Amino acid sequence: MRNHGVLASLAGLGLLAATTSAPAQIGYDRHGGDYANFSEQSGDPANCATRCEHDSRCRAWSFSYPTGAGVGAICWLKNVVVPRAPNPCCMSGVKGAGVIEPRPGPVEFSIDRLGGDYRVFETPPDPTGKACIAACESETRCRAWTYRRPGYGGPVARCFLKERLTPPNYRPCCVSGVVR
């Protein structure tokens, strides 16, 4: 018997995955097989996965992150499982897999570390936040960083360099990391 409270908590953190298929992956799209699409107001790919789970026609899904150029997040539901293709615009998955974003290592996907900022700057869009990592590593004052994707809180990507560590908060807008 499953504990639905624990499952709901894990799903809210983007950590729920079924044991029968591979988890969703950031940086991949699935072209074709679309039967429906809709704007995802929250910008959270977990909502796209959940919508697929509750639709009997759905077999797979793709989620496009906001572009910052007036195009918001979009969820694409698919009636067939098409192969995934590398594309930094998106996250995709198969029904039953849930959403698991990469967690191990120095990069924290879907994590925002609020506060502690000493420098904020505009940066080119990059789903891994490479410019933030490089900037933080080059400044001895920097202990952690957060990259905010375009379309979340503004039309451009931004890097937040932090002089103190703050707790991680689940938010699909961001990618963070701790350097020192």
Cα–Cα distance between 25 and 36 in angstroms, integer? 20
For position 104, what pLDDT does the model report? Answer: 56
- Amino acid 100: pLDDT: 57
Distance CA 49, CA 25 (A): 11
CATH classification (class only), 107-178 = alpha beta
List Cβ neighbours of 24 (8 Å cut-off, separation of 6 or more): 45, 49, 91, 92, 93, 94, 97, 98, 99, 100, 101
- pLDDT confidence of residue 165: 93
What CATH class is the domain 4-94?
alpha beta
List the pLDDT tens digit at each of the 180 positions of the chain. 333 332 333 334 343 333 234 567 788 899 999 999 999 988 999 899 999 999 999 999 999 999 877 788 999 999 999 999 988 889 999 998 766 555 556 788 889 999 999 999 999 988 888 999 999 999 999 999 999 999 998 899 999 999 999 999 989 899 999 998
Domain boundaries, the chain: 4-94, 107-178
Report pLDDT for 105: 66
Q: How far apart are CA 74 and CA 62, in angstroms?
A: 8
**pLDDT tens digits along 162-173:** 999 999 998 989
Please name which of 132, 73, 69, 98 lies closest in space to residue 10, comparing C-alpha atoms.
98
What is the CB-side half-sphere exposure of residue 169 using CA atoms within 13 A? 10
Report the distance separating Cα 52 and Cα 21, nearest Å: 14
pLDDT at 71: 81
Tell me if domain 4-94 and domain 107-178 are identical in fold: yes
Tell me, what's the pLDDT at 11? 38
Torsion of CA 77, 82, 87, 88, to 10 degrees: 40
- Per residue in 31-45, pLDDT tens? 999 999 999 988 999
- Count CB neighbours of 55 within 10 A: 15
Q: Where are the beta strands (DSSP E) in 23-100?
A: 25-30, 34-39, 60-64, 74-78, 84-94
Q: Is the pTM of this model over 0.75?
A: no
Give residue 17's pLDDT: 35
CA–CA separation, 119 and 158 (whole Å): 10
